[in-house]
């Protein structure tokens, strides 16, 4: 694989391209529909990349070398290793080797995704890990809840135990004058999850790349916590925890920092040189660090009210993102995984890694008239979210089937009804009235 290291005509603000050969998109005949992003320019810019020869070894796939190294590893295990290991240990080693073979093949042979940095192989690894996670989810889906919790004990013997009940709401007094520490309620909420909120929304803003859409998602999730607090105890928070600490505090601060980062990436000139074309160790070190920044940048202009397709697509994106957030809480509740556990942290990290290319592919699918098929990472992430939801419904039916309070049901019904009526008015009635007005004006000019 010969991939560009340098770029000629480096004045653009575009990120890594997502072409037909590298991301699984199928392109058909051109359309005259106006788009938010110039995808033809994006594809044409790929022609201005070349390998200057200084880092060819770094960019090549090395299929033969990988096969040789892995075969030597298998030869050592099969012929040279002599040990009387237990059946359980051999099973764990065998499963680990199976996973290694799958990931190794995927990293070498799966198509490239839309991103190039720090290396296309890294994003192929991310895709393979998402496939592996989906396979694990499908396996768990075919178990009963007790066996599913038991399987988690193979990862950590401390798992598979009922979670300790905790009072998440408690007293909602902000300033307690009767206590030696009047701010004890506020201090009790200042835990590691404050940082999780802040950095989580920073990364989500980098993924979604839209200020208002991120704020709508932040507001909507707080509403979902209010709606579902009768099902999950940790959704029962004080009002100031919801709206001051979370929505107006951590979430909005993370979104603000994310937008500042996006603005920097948008105006930053992208001028790349090969490693060995740079003189001095300081310059080379700086170039190594820049390898973890985007190769090019694409601004997302979702234009949700531009057409009915974009409106429904944006609503669908919001639903998928909210389901991803809700699945985090429901999964650890039904599978008895404590919130501070490493598995919860890893799922959040990989959700961000999977979400980056997935939302890029989804945006291109919505905006590019030649893109007729959603990308591989977007498809896989959607499959993961659906499978997680099915696991939650199967293992936690007693929880998810608890009826909503009547007041909440009425409010959601009115909200959905209002959204439906506005959609019909904006995309049908308004345009029909405009069309009638244009016809009337045309008739007046004719007369």
Query: Is the pTM higher than 0.75?
Result: yes
User: What confidence category does residue 30 fall into, taking pLDDT thresholds of 50, 70 and 90?
Assistant: very low
Q: Is the pLDDT of residue 31 over 70?
A: no
Q: Which of 223, 244, 245 is nearest to 235 (CA)?
A: 223
Q: Is the pLDDT of residue 403 over 50?
A: yes
Q: Which of 22, 4, 110, 15 is nearest to 371 (CA)?
A: 22
Mean pLDDT of 377-384: 97
Percentage of residues in the chain having pLDDT higher than 90: 49
Q: Which residue has the higher pLDDT, 347 or 87?
A: 347
Q: Which residue has the higher pLDDT, 336 or 20?
A: 336
Q: Which residue has the higher pLDDT, 230 or 166?
A: 230
Mean pLDDT of 329-358: 94
Per the CB < 8 A criterion, the answer to whether 223 and 216 are in contact is: no
194-226 pLDDT per residue, tens: 899 999 999 999 999 999 999 999 999 999 999
Q: Give, for 49, the enclosing helix (H) or strand (E).
A: strand 49-50
Is 220 exposed, middle or buried (CB count within 10 Å of its CB: 0-12, 13-18, 19+)?
A: middle
Give the per-residue pLDDT at 104. Answer: 93
Give the per-residue pLDDT at 106. Answer: 92
Give the per-residue pLDDT at 54. Answer: 55
Measured distance CA(121)–CA(101) in Å, rounded: 15
Measured distance CA(108)–CA(359) in Å, rounded: 24
Indicate the SS3 state at residue 7.
Answer: strand
User: What confidence category does residue 92 fall into, taking pLDDT thresholds of 50, 70 and 90?
Assistant: confident
Measured distance CA(351)–CA(130) in Å, rounded: 9
Give the per-residue pLDDT at 375. Answer: 92
Give the per-residue pLDDT at 372. Answer: 84
Q: Give, for 6, the enclosing helix (H) or strand (E).
A: strand 6-7
Most confident listed range (278-292, 299-313, 425-439): 299-313
Percentage of residues in the chain having pLDDT higher than 70: 83
Give the per-residue pLDDT at 43. Answer: 64
User: What confidence category does residue 24 fall into, taking pLDDT thresholds of 50, 70 and 90?
Assistant: very low
Measured distance CA(292)–CA(287) in Å, rounded: 9
Question: Poorest-confidence range of 111-115, 176-180, 341-345, 366-370?
Answer: 176-180
User: Where do the structural domains in the chain lie, given as residue ranges?
Assistant: 6-400, 403-442
352-372 pLDDT per residue, tens: 999 999 999 999 999 888 888
User: What confidence category does residue 15 fall into, taking pLDDT thresholds of 50, 70 and 90?
Assistant: very low
Give the per-residue pLDDT at 167. Answer: 64
């Amino acid at each position: 694989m010969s991939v560009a290291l340098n770029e000629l005509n480096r004045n653009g603000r575009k990120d890594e391209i997502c072409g037909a050969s590298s991301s699984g998109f199928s392109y058909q005949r051109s359309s005259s529909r106006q788009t938010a992003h110039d995808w033809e320019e994006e594809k044409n810019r790929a022609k201005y990349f070349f390998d200057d020869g200084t880092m060819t070894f770094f960019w090549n796939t090395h299929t033969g070398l990988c096969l040789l190294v892995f075969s030597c590893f298998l030869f050592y295990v099969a012929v040279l290793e002599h040990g009387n290991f237990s059946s359980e240990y051999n099973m764990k080693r065998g499963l680990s080797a199976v996973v290694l073979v799958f990931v190794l093949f995927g990293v070498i042979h799966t198509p490239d995704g839309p991103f190039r940095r720090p290396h296309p192989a890294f994003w192929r690894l991310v895709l393979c890990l998402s496939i592996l996670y989906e396979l694990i989810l499908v396996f768990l889906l075919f178990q009963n809840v007790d066996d599913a919790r038991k399987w988690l004990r193979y990862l950590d013997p401390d798992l598979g135990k009922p979670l300790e009940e905790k009072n998440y709401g408690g007293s909602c007094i902000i300033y307690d004058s009767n206590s030696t520490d009047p701010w004890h309620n506020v201090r009790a909420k200042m835990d590691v999850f404050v940082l999780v909120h802040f950095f989580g929304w920073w990364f989500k803003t980098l993924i979604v790349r839209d200020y208002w859409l991120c704020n709508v998602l932040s507001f909507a999730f707080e509403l979902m916590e209010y709606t579902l607090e009768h099902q999950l105890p940790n959704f029962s928070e004080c009002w100031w925890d919801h709206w001051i600490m979370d929505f107006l505090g951590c979430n909005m601060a993370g979104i603000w920092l994310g937008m500042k980062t996006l603005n920097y990436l948008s105006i930053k000139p992208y001028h790349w040189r090969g490693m060995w074309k740079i003189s001095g160790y300081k310059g080379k070190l700086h170039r190594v660090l820049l390898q973890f920044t985007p190769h090019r940048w694409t601004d997302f202009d979702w234009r949700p009210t531009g057409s009915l397709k974009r409106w429904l697509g944006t609503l669908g994106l919001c639903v998928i993102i909210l389901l991803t957030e809700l699945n985090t809480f429901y999964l650890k509740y039904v599978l008895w995984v404590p919130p501070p556990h490493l598995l919860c942290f890893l799922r959040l990290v990989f959700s961000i890694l999977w979400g980056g290319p997935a939302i890029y592919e989804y945006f291109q699918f919505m905006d590019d008239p030649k893109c007729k098929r959603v990308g591989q990472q977007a498809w896989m992430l959607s499959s993961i979210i659906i499978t997680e939801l099915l696991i939650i419904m199967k293992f936690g039916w007693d929880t998810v089937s608890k009826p909503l309070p009547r007041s909440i049901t009425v409010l959601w019904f009115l909200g959905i009804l209002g959204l439906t009526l506005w959609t019909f008015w904006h995309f049908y009635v308004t345009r029909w009235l405009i069309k009638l007005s244009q016809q009337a004006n045309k008739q007046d000019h004719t007369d």
